Amino acid sequence: MMKKLWHVICASLILRLIHLAWTTPRNWAADDDLDEDMMNTYIRDNQIALKDPPSESYVLNEAGEYSGAAAWADIDAANLTLTLVTSGGDVMVSFAGTFYMTVGASTVYLDVEVDGARTAGDDGIIGTYITTAAVGLSFTRLIEGLAADTHVFVLQWDAVANARLAAGSGGTHDVHPQFWAREVS
């Protein structure tokens, strides 16, 4: 009994480490034979796919800050780039962070690039006027209709050079921005 329980526990842990893609359920007929493989594919694996969809997140703790870019640019291509292998459909993307100006005031705009193309265009998903006082800025965006494939999500901004994104500086603005993406369909 213990040996069987151990195998079940190990199998469960292994399945959690491996993302299982959604399999379109089959149409069943009254005289279909049901076997272990069918149960695993259409019941167990699809339940796991629903419970644990592809997700990725990053929390910045860079002991510093990021300086603005004059035109649309990646904020941090190394850390604020997320890669998901999806089953196809919609992906929810979210960001939260604290911005401020070293001097003066200006508007900071944010957008997400998906597979090399910005999602919102024009002035991005969100923008806000900031001064030397710290301002929290966040968004959640649903990216619809992505094909089943590997997709790359990159956080971008359009901000003047004296704009800052705080990233765990240890000083006055010791906050930690978060960027995440999760398949939702």
- Domains of the chain in start order, with CATH, are 1-20+36-52 (no CATH), 55-183 (2.60.120.40)
Checking if the pLDDT of 159 tops 70, the result is yes
Name the band, by pLDDT with cuts 50, 70 and 90, for residue 20: low
- Rounded CA gap, 80 and 77, in Å? 6
pLDDT tens digits, residue range 126-142? 999 999 988 999 999 99
Return all residues near 74 (Cβ < 8 A) that are at least 6 apart: 80, 81, 113, 154, 155, 156
Helix or strand holding residue 10 (H, E): helix 2-17
What is the torsional sign of CA 102, 105, 106, 107? positive
8 A C-beta contact, residue 99 and residue 108: yes
Tell me, what's the pLDDT at 15? 40
Tell me, what's the pLDDT at 14? 41
Instruction: Give the pLDDT mean for 163-176.
Output: 80
- Rounded CA gap, 168 and 41, in Å? 44
CA distances from 107 to 8, 113, 126, 137, 161 (A): 55, 19, 10, 11, 11
pLDDT tens digits, residue range 35-90? 888 888 878 877 776 667 788 888 877 767 888 887 899 999 988 999 999 988 89
Query: Structure pTM?
Result: 0.76
